[in-house]
Amino acid sequence: MRLSSILAGALLCLSLPALADDKLRFSLIRTATTKPVPQAMVTASGSWFSGDPSNHVAVLVEHGQQRFLFDTGLGKQAEQQFKQDMPYWIRPVMDFQLGKPARQQLDEAGIEIQQIYLSHTHWDHLSGAPDFPEAKVYAQAEEQLYMRMDSPPRVLPSQANAPIRWHQLPLPEKTYGPFQRSLDLYGDGKVVLVAIPGHTPGSMGMYLNVSPERRYLFVGDAIWRVREVADHSYKAWPARAIVDHDCQQTRAGIEMIRQAQAPGLTLIPAHDTGVHDALGYFPNWIE
């Protein structure tokens, strides 16, 4: 890791405001998994001789008395959405085994959700949003515009046209670590949303600062596996040609993620099953 990255992370830790009394915790809700595919089909530095499955998760965040989701995973209508809109040529590599959707798991636990924040609007992150008709769904303005203009296999019309309570989420020009735009959601330094454009125009990540020594950075699909950061690698080609809206901007976002690394910070890509397994799943909490 470069010295400049270490210093940037250390300075960010020192600049974090004192954490308020409102407790922060989170839980990963696993909604589906894919069959293992060779690592080389996922990341450029991966092996052709070993394979990994991928997860589809929602992130349940509890800040004091407030609860929200970051992404939704695959929802109750995922199989129907997939059959209706997913092109035949890519179905074999995107096929999944649906588990319990986030809405079902939360209902069984008696947990209500009023807000959903999306890392981006690709089909596997938006799928569960229609299951929460009472919730406000937030994404950046450029992301909502992008969603209306793109097409399968990235954006599915059955999801984009669903009755969702859309709200725009502006991320001000306010630096947070290496990220140029950010929003401190509660004003106490615990939940900070950051812009990581490239994979889609309005992609964003989320810091959860549980304590000054234990911090988590959810990076959506800017990277698919943590090893992309360690190996100075990227998504495999042609995967990135299919899914990344702007490959050059995506690489710039990955560089920001590299610079964000610091002691006590855990990177969490949206589909990295190894990272998710280590943290555990709902109803277990990280606190």
Q: Which residues contact 281 (CB under 8 A, 6 or more apart)?
A: 27, 28, 29, 30
Q: How far is CA 166 from CA 144, 161, 242, 245, in A?
A: 8, 11, 26, 22
Tell me what pLDDT residue 207 has: 98
Is residue 91 within a helix (H) or strand (E), and if so which, with residue range?
Answer: helix 91-94
Question: Phi then psi for 172, rounded to 5 degrees?
Answer: -65, 160
Q: In what order do the strands lie in the sheet with 204-211?
A: 182-184, 191-195, 204-211, 214-218, 265-268
Distance of CA 30 to the CA centre of its chain: 13
Domain ranges of the chain: 3-279
- For 183-192, how does the pLDDT look when each residue is reduced to its tens digit (9 = 90+)? 999 999 999 9
| Residue-wise DSSP of 152-206 | TTTS-HHHHTS--EEEE----S--BTTBS-EEESSSSSSEEEEE--SSSTT-EEE
**Residue 7 contacts by C-beta under 8 Å, 6 or more apart in sequence?**
none
For residue range 3-54, list pLDDT tens digits in order.
444 444 544 544 444 444 689 999 999 999 999 999 999 999 899 999 999 9
Q: What is the CATH number of domain 3-279?
A: 3.60.15.10
Cis peptide preceding 283, ω within 30 of 0:
yes
Q: Which residues pair with 265 in a beta bridge?
A: 215
* pLDDT in the model for residue 17: 46
Nearest of 129, 122, 80 to residue 101 by alpha carbon: 129
136-147 tens-digit pLDDT: 999 999 999 999
What pLDDT is attached to residue 6? Answer: 44
Rounded average pLDDT over 58-69: 97
pLDDT in tens, 106-131: 999 999 999 999 999 999 999 999 99
For the chain, give the percent of residues with pLDDT over 90.
Answer: 89
Provide the pLDDT for residue 21.
Answer: 61
pLDDT tens-digit series, residues 177-219: 999 999 999 999 999 999 999 999 999 999 999 999 999 999 9
Q: How many residues does the chain have?
A: 287
What is the per-residue pLDDT for 232? 87
Which pLDDT band holds residue 230 (cuts at 50, 70, 90)? confident
pTM listed for this prediction: 0.91
| Residue 23, C-beta contacts closer than 8 angstroms, at least 6 positions apart | 62, 63, 64, 287
Backbone phi and psi for residue 11, each to the nearest 5 degrees, phi listed first: -65, -40
Q: What angle do CA 109, 58, 81 make, to 5 degrees?
A: 105
Report how far residue 203's alpha carbon sits from residue 185's, in angstroms, rounded to the nearest whole number.
16
pLDDT tens for each residue of 259-276: 999 999 999 999 999 999
Candidates 10, 4, 13, 11; CA nearest to 259 is 4
